[in-house]
Structure 1
């Protein structure tokens, strides 16, 4: 599903050049649930930005679902993002003046889906994350956990090949974090490929594989025995 070979990325900082990614080789198969870990400055956010087509590598190749991602103009990058990727952010990134249903339906609007169909799909995904009753509520009427569930529903609405989650539990307490991870695990159980950037060890162990970055290189890449989240663990 994802294949990265000899990926390098540098940024010019005044008169200095900061070499952030230093030859990353990384493969993700369809249906995997992968945690990407590393301290601040390790390169994990840069890697996620490249995976999300928000930035481009200086060297190396990135192939997503058989498509080489290279030299994309913004219009094509936006189309590919909409086709291939769903994003979940730490800060939720919901539109404040749109209700939950309208937020979830947004990617479908950009895909040109008709209003009735996109509302139907949006409601389906709100039901999937347990928020059908909150469809008409604005983000400021929702708790942090509910906002993140809306964000997950929105990410799933366009039926992406890969879900990219950047610190999805970073703004949540531990009980709510586990509720969100329970949803992510159930989505992965259905076959969705998911990558999660996290600095939280317990969250990483709810995935099936942990990739550790340090100073721009992968220092460890291990399949692990997944810790399953049960509903009873956060009652």
Structure 2
């Protein structure tokens, strides 16, 4: 599903160049649930930005579902993101003046899907995350866990190939974090490929594989015995 070969990325910092990714080789098969860990400055956010087509590598190759991702203009990158990827963010990134149903439907709006079908699909995914009764509520009327569930429903609505989750439990308490991870595990068990960036060891062990980055290189890539989220609540 994802093939990364010899990926390098540098940023110009004044007169100096900061070499952030230093030859990353990384494959993810369809249906995997992978956590990417690393301290601040390790390169995990840069890697996620490249995977999410929000940034481009200086060297190396990135192939997504058999499609080479390179030299994309913003219009094509946006189309590919909408087609292939669903994003889950630590800060939820919900539109404050739209209710839960309309928030979930945003990717479908950009796909040009008519409102009636959009609302039907959005309600289906709100039901999937257990929030059908909250469809007409605005984000400020939802708890942190509910906001993240809406964000997960939104990420699923466009039926992407891959979900990219950037610290999805970073703004949540432990109990709510495990509830969100239980939901993510369930989605993965249905066959969805999911990558999670996290700095929390217990969250990482709820995936099936942990990739550790340090100073722009992968120092460890291990298949782990998955901890079921509900067992920890």
TM-score by length of 1: 0.98
Aligned to 1:165: 165
Residue aligned with 2:105, SS: helix
Offset of residue 233 of structure 1 = 4.4
Aligned to 1:93: 93
Aligned to 2:206: 206
Offset of residue 8 of structure 1 = 0.0
The reply on whether 1:103 has 2:103 as its aligned counterpart is yes
Distance 1:31 1:171 in 2: 26
Aligned to 2:146: 146
Aligned to 2:220: 220
Please give the per-residue CA displacement for 1:152-177, whole angstroms capped at 9, x wherever unaligned.
00000000000000000000000000
Offset of residue 229 of structure 1 = 1.7
Distance 2:201 2:117 in 1: 40
Aligned to 1:116: 116
Q: How do residues 184-203 of structure 1 correspond to structure 2 at under 5 angstroms?
A: 184-203=184-203
Distance 2:172 2:26 in 1: 29
- Structure 1 portions without partners, runs of 5+: none
Aligned to 2:2: 2
Distance 1:233 1:118 in 2: 36
Residue aligned with 2:34, SS: strand
- Structure 2 portions without partners, runs of 5+: none
Distance 1:53 1:146 in 2: 27
Offset of residue 119 of structure 1 = 0.4
Please give the per-residue CA displacement for 1:43-102, whole angstroms capped at 9, x wherever unaligned.
000000000000000000000000000000000000000000000000000000000000
Aligned to 2:38: 38
Residue aligned with 1:195, SS: strand
The reply on whether 1:128 has 2:128 as its aligned counterpart is yes
RMSD, matched Cα: 0.6
Distance 2:34 2:72 in 1: 26
Distance 1:163 1:38 in 2: 19
Aligned to 1:54: 54
Distance 2:96 2:229 in 1: 30
Offset of residue 127 of structure 1 = 0.4
Offset of residue 213 of structure 1 = 0.1
Q: How many residues align?
A: 233
Offset of residue 12 of structure 1 = 0.2
Distance 2:232 2:106 in 1: 33
